Chain A
């Protein structure tokens, strides 16, 4: 009997997946069927019903979420607010949603020609939605009421062009919302615009032919400074204060790389935690959706809205309940502020100090010189730079980028140790180098080729500068694909047994290993450097976590950000930036990616 019920549910899910129409073949159908809702927003309706939002008067009273822990003196410029700050201002009546949206639209009008962060800006629609939010009784406002968002242009948005920066989708206007965006909208968020990306989510943002578009908000005129990809437009929009927060997708670093490149906090959740239904796929097994935010609190707020089971995406079903992310970061913030009362930074579930594992080489031991020397104990190596407070001299001393990065990492770990975390050394799991190599990473390529097989058979020119990986994916035989897929399970087992038997969170230097196995990864700023361009540039860090442990990652970074200020730094507006020698866009320089760049740098 149980088997029969499960089989029926399985068939219903499959029917929901294939039941839609009116979108290209690579996408599923409309959101169908009501899903069980995990913790997320209490009172939020299931994603299945968001396609046709109910009139505000018919909605149940929206619960308030506790953001008091995030309260601080609001910035003078509304466009400088985090989501938490903007939500507080709206609740307090200190600012209206319309004023907040107008603040962002004003910056977009002034600076978008320089940043090129957006494919589409929905000025009128955003203002109309903001006025609607303002006219809703405060007791019925939803958690993200009036918050404008920058949505990556591979999320389907009903009635709004979704181009994926590709010829294949250049005229595509979906008739439904991707579940992740539908959930944000249902939580009250406003669609401010669709953001630029690498073609089909490959490299940093370019036109389909490879001409670079979006620039890094910290060095907008310097062509050698990448904005990070492929969620380049979302990252630049958030960093440049064109939007308070954005969404991205990650197959090989596309949330965490642009977050690190632009001083943001981005989280790639565990595979399945956020539904991929309605997001144009790059692969089936490696794509993830998540937020690019200004800090860990905002990332938690966004993920709370985006996460949860979706009948239209079987990968999201049968997983542990969605934790209370906002509660986890709130607890971390309170503990950090009152350490004398609450004690050290604790693991949210295990009620002991959180353990952070440091993999060999993370602090540059291999570069330290004489290998005959006994390495110093980890504690001594961290002690030199424990304070995470901004150091005015940092980056001005002529240190190389790698030295500045190592020092920033040392300070970051020292700060977390000061907060009570246990920082320990852990070894690489067995077979790490092999199973995370480029060759094993290539196991993903046949998936992207299969997804777009009709387009490949139709006209390969539609892939523009990104064509090579799609052709190469056609050349990996089934036996190797299956073996590569089995090898990923070996890698997962080695990570769980070899790393997470010793620690709760682990340092990473590349996103690929955790992308390959679908484990969560968070990116956050840990310092700044000034390189030869003369522009200050963020230094970022990555921490990985256990399956569905996003709340652990968010809590640790929220605590770190209570003790540091890196995440509060904002890039200067383009108008005030000095011209640099060579590669300045104002001289008409506009770089292109070629086929090999996409192959080398791509997802």
Chain B
């Protein structure tokens, strides 16, 4: 069980209990994945979705976009973002994924604004 600031107790999986907030950084393994492996991953994902980057020039710094810069950006993104989010520990019975936080505060009465 994990206790929050108000003293309420929540169920947490053993793995979540073991993780601390400092585990937020992307996993070290993310930096060990090679560019070639990431490129294969990115291209496969885009092919599965029907997104075609080959209409862009391969490398042209004067163009608004080219394949080289798009792929470099995608590699940077994959090396940082998914791992950092995945490493954030969350209680299994914690907040449900409501995607509108502010409205939720009104709908559940948790907002502090006086009427």
Q: Which residue of A lies closest to B115 (CB)?
A: A320
A519: chain B residues at CB < 8 Å are 102
Q: How far is the CB of A346 from chain B (nearest CB, A)?
A: 13
Determine if B100 and A484 form an interchain contact, defined as CB atoms under 8 angstroms apart: no
Q: Which residue of B lies closest to A491 (CB)?
A: B101
B81: chain A residues at CB < 8 Å are 438-439, 442, 472, 476, 480
Main secondary structure, interface of A, reads helix
Q: A271-B103, A517-B102 are in contact. Are A480 and B86 (CB under 8 A)?
A: yes
Number of interface residues of A (CB under 8 A): 71
Binds B, one of A19-27, A390-398, A543-551, A557-565: A543-551
Say whether B50 faces chain A, with CB atoms less than 8 Å apart.
Answer: yes
A173: chain B residues at CB < 8 Å are none
Q: How far is the CB of A398 from chain B (nearest CB, A)?
A: 38
Say whether B52 faces chain A, with CB atoms less than 8 Å apart.
Answer: yes
Determine if A489 and B98 form an interchain contact, defined as CB atoms under 8 angstroms apart: yes
Determine if B113 and A460 form an interchain contact, defined as CB atoms under 8 angstroms apart: no
Q: How far is the CB of B62 from chain A (nearest CB, A)?
A: 9
Say whether B90 faces chain A, with CB atoms less than 8 Å apart.
Answer: yes
Determine if A486 and B82 form an interchain contact, defined as CB atoms under 8 angstroms apart: no
In residues 477-500 of chain A, which contact B (Cβ within 8 Å)? 477, 479-480, 482-493, 496-497, 500
CA of A474 to CA of B64 in the docked complex: distance in angstroms?
20
B103: chain A residues at CB < 8 Å are 271-272, 315, 318-319, 518
Say whether A464 faces chain B, with CB atoms less than 8 Å apart.
Answer: yes
Q: How far is the CB of A133 from chain B (nearest CB, A)?
A: 35
Say whether A463 faces chain B, with CB atoms less than 8 Å apart.
Answer: yes
Number of A-B contacts (CB under 8 A): 185
Say whether B5 faces chain A, with CB atoms less than 8 Å apart.
Answer: yes
A475: chain B residues at CB < 8 Å are 42, 45, 74, 77-78, 82
Determine if A460 and B53 form an interchain contact, defined as CB atoms under 8 angstroms apart: yes
CA of A486 to CA of B91 in the docked complex: distance in angstroms?
10
Partner of A439, one of B84, B113, B114: B84
B102: chain A residues at CB < 8 Å are 270-272, 492, 517-519, 547
B82: chain A residues at CB < 8 Å are 475-477, 480
Q: How far is the CB of B33 from chain A (nearest CB, A)?
A: 13
Determine if B113 and A548 form an interchain contact, defined as CB atoms under 8 angstroms apart: yes
A479: chain B residues at CB < 8 Å are 86
Q: How far is the CB of A25 from chain B (nearest CB, A)?
A: 16
Against B, the Cβ 8 Å flags (1 = close, 0 = not) of A546-588 are 1111000000000000000000000000000000000000000
Say whether B15 faces chain A, with CB atoms less than 8 Å apart.
Answer: no
Determine if B65 and A463 form an interchain contact, defined as CB atoms under 8 angstroms apart: yes
Number of interface residues of B (CB under 8 A): 52
Q: How far is the CB of B94 from chain A (nearest CB, A)?
A: 7
Partner of B51, one of A208, A321, A471: A471
Determine if B104 and A489 form an interchain contact, defined as CB atoms under 8 angstroms apart: yes
Determine if B106 and A468 form an interchain contact, defined as CB atoms under 8 angstroms apart: no
Q: How far is the CB of B95 from chain A (nearest CB, A)?
A: 4
Say whether B29 faces chain A, with CB atoms less than 8 Å apart.
Answer: no
Say whether A434 faces chain B, with CB atoms less than 8 Å apart.
Answer: yes
A485: chain B residues at CB < 8 Å are 97-99
Determine if A457 and B51 form an interchain contact, defined as CB atoms under 8 angstroms apart: yes
CA of A493 to CA of B95 in the docked complex: distance in angstroms?
10
CA of A6 to CA of B92 in the docked complex: distance in angstroms?
30
CA of A284 to CA of B74 in the docked complex: distance in angstroms?
22
Say whether B46 faces chain A, with CB atoms less than 8 Å apart.
Answer: yes
Say whether A262 faces chain B, with CB atoms less than 8 Å apart.
Answer: no
Q: Which residue of A lies closest to B63 (CB)?
A: A209
CA of A486 to CA of B95 in the docked complex: distance in angstroms?
6
CA of A105 to CA of B111 in the docked complex: distance in angstroms?
44
CA of A489 to CA of B84 in the docked complex: distance in angstroms?
17
15 contacts between A and B (CB under 8 A): A285-B99, A315-B100, A318-B106, A318-B107, A320-B113, A435-B88, A443-B85, A457-B51, A460-B51, A467-B65, A471-B46, A475-B45, A492-B105, A496-B110, A595-B70
Report A's interface with B, CB cutoff 8 A. 208-210, 270-272, 284-285, 315, 318-321, 349-350, 430-431, 434-435, 437-440, 442-443, 453, 456-457, 459-461, 463-465, 467-468, 471-472, 474-477, 479-480, 482-493, 496-497, 500, 516-519, 546-549, 594-596, 599
Report B's interface with A, CB cutoff 8 A. 5-6, 21, 24, 26, 42, 45-46, 49-53, 55-56, 61, 64-65, 69-70, 73-74, 77-78, 80-82, 84-86, 88, 90, 94-107, 110-115
Given A350-B114, A487-B88, A492-B104; 8 other pairs, CB 8 A cutoff: A318-B107, A434-B24, A438-B80, A442-B77, A459-B55, A475-B82, A546-B112, A599-B73
